[in-house]
Amino acid sequence: MTDRLHRSAPPAGLPQPVSPTDVGVVHLGIGAFHRAHQAVFTDRAMALSGDLRWGILGVTQRSAGVRDQLRPQDGVYAVLTAGAAGGGSSSGDGSAALGDGLSLELVGAVVDVAYPAEETPRVLAALAAPTTHVVTLTITEKGYARRPDGGLDVDRVRPDLEALRAEELAVGSDENNPEQATATSSEQKVVLGAAEPGAASSAIGILVRGLAVRRRVSGDLPLTVLTCDNMVDNGRVLERLVREAVDAALPGAEGAALRAYLDAAVTFPCSMVDRIVPATTPAQRDAVEAALGVRDEGLVVGEPFTQWVIEDRFAGPRPPWEAAGATLTADVAPYEQAKLRLLNGTHSLVAYSGWLAGHATIAEAVGDPAIAEAAREYLFDDALPTLDAPFDLRSYGEEILHRFANPHTGHTTIQVAMDGTQKIPFRWGGVLGDSLSAGRVPGGLVLGLAAWAEFVRRRVMAGEVVDDPRAAELAEVVHGAGGDREATVRGLLGVPGLLPDVAVGHEALLGAVVDARVPVS
């Protein structure tokens, strides 16, 4: 039985990982992407600056899996970079080359992972701690609990809103009895005398409860809440959802103190994140075990390219991320729009048409001439003309296609294809709305929509899982159409909130999608 990787004994050939002195960042959604992206920037920023206050407490929502991967390793894991060096804007990595376009680096920034179903008081305490200055999130588009119209789906976070209300109202009495608030245990004190806080069941919920606790414990301690998910104007979306949650839990005067705290001390900047991070395969884990001589259950894999563009609107201190290559700017929008429309939009077209053509990976799919042609039509003829950016968009687009062709990542079409109803509005919605408003039916995007619809139809008719929060709704449309292609397409494209208003009932668009022949070789 091979030993586990551990912070105390880094494998030969790899530098000792950083050991943070404090938890400065609480991260919600510590999946593979965070561990291969923001955590790497934070790790490198600490290593390069010597500022070790930026340890990360990861919070995992769905299961204790990531906690059980990392806690036995004292939070340390390796990142396997797959593909020729170059690209992006990260710097200062202490990686070791393994040959064949592969390199490994250890990340020590994550100090532990908490699982709210069993550790909610600990998470709330971390969110309230004066050493915590930043909360980051990668909870995926579906994690924001939005209704089709974009508002907060209160039913999906109701248990947390009820807990928030109970904690706030319990504190109301405590605030009149300060001695009670100081008499409780450290974690109990965090929730100021309330009964043992109920287990959090949503990311938005634990965030709002944590903000409320921070206010109760500290009054006006600033905090920056930085979303790193693929949504247009992601920081503004998150702020609106947090405020809708407060209004739902604490209407009127009951929520006045918390709203005033948000106004005065909490910021929600936008950011654009970019690195292709495929799911780690058992073969990759075994190969790294053979290379290191120890077992790393937390291994993550990424392409060489990495980029992080952050709105410089922080409520208090932050990690020196620019030391590791991040870009701080007053306006993230041009970077965010270009990345969502050019990279993510093309990714989805390649994923659906690639899956239909029988290609398991993105790299194989873009190697298919018919799919490559459709991807280029969408990227350069449909999406690029809708953008205005302070950098060369055509070169950026060509680099995206080069990145997709990287065979070393093993990024699968089915992984990118998941959650279509959550991704399409953000990555195709803008291009579609702008094109139709300009009187143009975008031919490449038509192929993408046709491929998505056919992907859903085939999976539903085959009884296979459609990995999407609205899978039941999609299945109902497909079965209701009774196999009729036009009815299926019209029904799926008519799913509320999927496409922009200008596209709903747009006969030229619908006709083009019905008539489209998905590009398969």
Q: With respect to ligand CS2, which residue has the nearer C-beta, 279 or 520?
A: 279
Half-sphere exposure of 218 (CA within 13 A, CB side): 23
Q: With respect to ligand CS2, which residue has the nearer C-beta, 274 or 377?
A: 274
The region of 111-119, 248-256, 257-265, 271-279 touching ligand CS2 under the rule CB under 6 A is 271-279
**Residue 416 lies near ligand CS2 (rule: CB under 6 A):** yes
Q: For residues 478 and 461, is the Cβ–Cβ distance under 8 A?
A: yes
Report the residue number whose CB is nearest to ligand CS2.
347
Q: With respect to ligand CS2, which residue has the nearer C-beta, 212 or 379?
A: 379
Task: Name which of 415, 417, 412, 442 is nearest 429 in CA terms.
Answer: 442
Question: Smallest distance, Å, CB 400 to ligand CS2?
Answer: 9
- The 10 Å Cβ neighbour count of residue 399 is 17
Q: For residues 450 and 489, is the Cβ–Cβ distance under 8 A?
A: yes
The region of 2-10, 56-64, 164-172, 340-348 touching ligand CS2 under the rule CB under 6 A is 340-348
Binder among 133, 275, 285, 490 for ligand CS2 (CB under 6 A) = 275
CB proximity list for 214: less than 8 A, separation 6 or greater:
127, 128, 221, 223, 261
Q: Looking up tokens 């204790």, which residue turns up? A: 64
Question: Smallest distance, Å, CB 362 to ligand CS2?
Answer: 9
Binding mask 196-235 for ligand CS2 (x = CB under 6 A): ----------------------------------x-----
> Which pair of tokens denotes residue 70?
């990392």
Binder among 423, 470, 490, 506 for ligand CS2 (CB under 6 A) = 423
**Residue 403 lies near ligand CS2 (rule: CB under 6 A):** no
Q: With respect to ligand CS2, which residue has the nearer C-beta, 31 or 108?
A: 31
Alpha-carbon distance of 54 to 25, in angstroms, equals 6
Q: With respect to ligand CS2, which residue has the nearer C-beta, 156 or 427?
A: 427
Question: Smallest distance, Å, CB 423 to ligand CS2?
Answer: 6
Q: With respect to ligand CS2, which residue has the nearer C-beta, 133 or 275?
A: 275
Question: Smallest distance, Å, CB 251 to ligand CS2?
Answer: 36
* 3-state helix/strand/coil string of 416-469: HHCCHHHHHHHHCHHHHHHHHHCCCCCHHHHHHHHHHHHHHHHHHHCCCCCCCC
Q: How far is CA 212 from the centre of its chain?
A: 24
> Which pair of tokens denotes residue 519?
């590009």
Q: For residues 224 and 314, is the Cβ–Cβ distance under 8 A?
A: yes
Instruction: Please classify residue 329 by burial: count the beta carbons closer than 10 Å to its beta carbon, then call 0-12 exposed, 13-18 middle and 19+ buried.
Output: middle
Q: With respect to ligand CS2, which residue has the nearer C-beta, 341 or 506?
A: 341
> Which pair of tokens denotes residue 435?
């094109």
The region of 272-280, 287-295, 367-375, 378-386 touching ligand CS2 under the rule CB under 6 A is 272-280
Q: With respect to ligand CS2, which residue has the nearer C-beta, 38 or 132?
A: 38
Number of residues engaging ligand CS2 in binding (CB under 6 A): 10
The region of 12-20, 341-349, 486-494, 504-512 touching ligand CS2 under the rule CB under 6 A is 341-349
Q: With respect to ligand CS2, which residue has the nearer C-beta, 131 or 415?
A: 415
Question: Smallest distance, Å, CB 36 to ligand CS2?
Answer: 10
Q: For residues 186 and 95, is the Cβ–Cβ distance under 8 A?
A: no
Binder among 119, 239, 244, 274 for ligand CS2 (CB under 6 A) = 274
Q: With respect to ligand CS2, which residue has the nearer C-beta, 348 or 435?
A: 348
- Beta-bridged to residue 271, according to DSSP, are 310
> Which pair of tokens denotes residue 279?
């799911």
> Which pair of tokens denotes residue 82?
């797959």
Q: With respect to ligand CS2, which residue has the nearer C-beta, 156 or 411?
A: 411
Q: By CB under 6 A, what part of segment 432-471 binds ligand CS2?
A: none
Alpha-carbon distance of 162 to 248, in angstroms, equals 9
- The 10 Å Cβ neighbour count of residue 271 is 25
Question: Smallest distance, Å, CB 417 to ligand CS2?
Answer: 8
> Which pair of tokens denotes residue 209?
């409860």
Question: Smallest distance, Å, CB 347 to ligand CS2?
Answer: 4
**Helix/strand/coil for 484:** coil
The region of 143-151, 179-187, 274-282, 476-484 touching ligand CS2 under the rule CB under 6 A is 274-282
Question: Smallest distance, Å, CB 140 to ligand CS2?
Answer: 9
**Residue 276 lies near ligand CS2 (rule: CB under 6 A):** yes
Alpha-carbon distance of 313 to 367, in angstroms, equals 41
Q: With respect to ligand CS2, which residue has the nearer C-beta, 271 or 488?
A: 271
- The 10 Å Cβ neighbour count of residue 277 is 21
Q: For residues 17 and 106, is the Cβ–Cβ distance under 8 A?
A: yes
Binder among 44, 133, 285, 347 for ligand CS2 (CB under 6 A) = 347
Strands (E), 131-173: 134-137
Q: With respect to ligand CS2, which residue has the nearer C-beta, 242 or 417?
A: 417
* 3-state helix/strand/coil string of 32-64: HHHHHCHHHHHHHHHHHHCCCCCEEEEECCCCC
Binder among 42, 69, 136, 344 for ligand CS2 (CB under 6 A) = 344
Q: Which residues make up the interface to ligand CS2 (CB under 6 A)? A: 230, 274-276, 343-344, 347, 415-416, 423
